[in-house]
Amino acid sequence: MLRWQQAQGKRHALDGLPPRPGESFETLCGQVVEVVRADIPELGGQWFAWTCRECDAVWRRRENIPQFVS
């Protein structure tokens, strides 16, 4: 299942289970990033980071959603 997850300053997307603090995951844009407690809303974190445009584009391709046009 696709989901958004903030990590290392960007809101990336991943396909899988939500990572826990200290874990890393592979983003849809092909990076491996580590999650800290402040990245988890359920643990009091808040999402301030920009959405990763590459992850957004991959997500849209997978789900057949029209691409975002700025």
Whole-angstrom distance, CA of residue 21 vs CA of residue 57: 26
Position 55 contacts Zn ion (CB under 5 A):
yes
CB of 1 to Zn ion, least distance (A): 17
Within residues 35-54, the interface with Zn ion by CB under 5 A covers 52, 54
Whole-angstrom distance, CA of residue 64 vs CA of residue 46: 29
Binding residues for Zn ion, total number by CB under 5 A = 6
Phi first, then psi, for residue 7 (nearest 5°) are -165, 135
Position 27 contacts Zn ion (CB under 5 A):
yes
| Residue numbers at the binding site for Zn ion (CB under 5 A) | 12, 27, 29, 52, 54-55
